Amino acid sequence: MRFRPIHLLIGLLLFSLGFAFVAQIKIQRSDPLDGLNEDELVLLLDQLTAAESQLRDEKAELTDQIYKLQSAHSQGQAAVEAAEKERELARILGGTTPVHGPGLEIVVNQGSSPIPAQKFVTMLGELRNSGAEAIELNGNRIVATSFITSDDDGVLSLSGTELKAPYTWRVIGDADTIQPALDIARGTTSQLRASDATVEITRVDDIEIDSTVAPKTYRYAKPVE
């Protein structure tokens, strides 16, 4: 092949394009800070420092807001749970809801003479003092306002409802505490047995007390605000 001027022109053009391409790559890869003087670099550093400080403050503020929201949610949830537990406890103590749990079944059969109401009043006190949480007598729920009486013929009544033998107490609570309290010397069960009555105490893993009482309406007593 013979060398011609056109070949030189093509070579120059290729060299120019290659040089321009390399120069462009160097420009793109160069540090943008290289062209700044010292004052401009100091100003840029101050701006970056201020921006970082502002971002840190915003992060701290957002973190604090998240913590407050989480804390408020936790407190609100705890308040709801506490209120629900109080309502549940009030329903149990007030006898307005069926309950179940471990406890005792006590069956009392009178002997040749009727059982005085005072014996059962004392027995009820022993049950309460030993930690009974729910009590039922012959299918009637016993609450704080319940009372046991007997008429001249010795017929027992619970809050006006007549009771007939055998008398079955169903008690929910810690049997390991309640039973010894009933069996103490000179306690109610000992006195009943001494008066010719029979008393049978059976531990039950899960007693159901389905009887309830109507919620009591108070006319004069009001809660303190």
Sheet with 134-137, strands from edge to edge, namely 140-142, 134-137, 167-172, 99-109, 198-209
Q: Same structural domain for residues 89 and 119? A: no
Instruction: Say what the pLDDT of residue 14 is.
Output: 62
- What is the CATH number for 197? 3.30.70.1880
Whether pLDDT at 108 is above 80: yes
Q: Same structural domain for residues 169 and 137? A: yes
Q: Same structural domain for residues 90 and 103? A: no
CA angle 133, 85, 222 (to 5 degrees): 90
- The residue among 107, 122, 98 whose CA lies nearest residue 207 is 98
Tell me the per-residue pLDDT of 138-164, one tens digit each, with 9 for 90 and over.
Answer: 999 999 889 999 998 889 999 999 999
User: 195: domain range?
Assistant: 99-209
- The residue among 179, 167, 168 whose CA lies nearest residue 203 is 179
In a domain, 161, yes or no: yes
Which residues, at least 6 apart from 126, have a Cβ–Cβ distance to it below 8 Å?
A: 181, 182, 187, 188
Q: Same structural domain for residues 129 and 63? A: no
Instruction: Say what the pLDDT of residue 201 is.
Output: 96
Tell me the per-residue pLDDT of 48-81, one tens digit each, with 9 for 90 and over.
Answer: 787 788 888 888 888 888 888 878 777 777 777 7
The residue behind tokens 């009590």 is 135
Whether pLDDT at 196 is above 80: yes
Whether pLDDT at 222 is above 60: yes
Q: Same structural domain for residues 104 and 56? A: no
Q: Same structural domain for residues 204 and 103? A: yes
In a domain, 151, yes or no: yes
- The whole model's pTM is what? 0.64
Tell me the per-residue pLDDT of 83-107, one tens digit each, with 9 for 90 and over.
Answer: 787 788 778 888 899 999 999 999 9
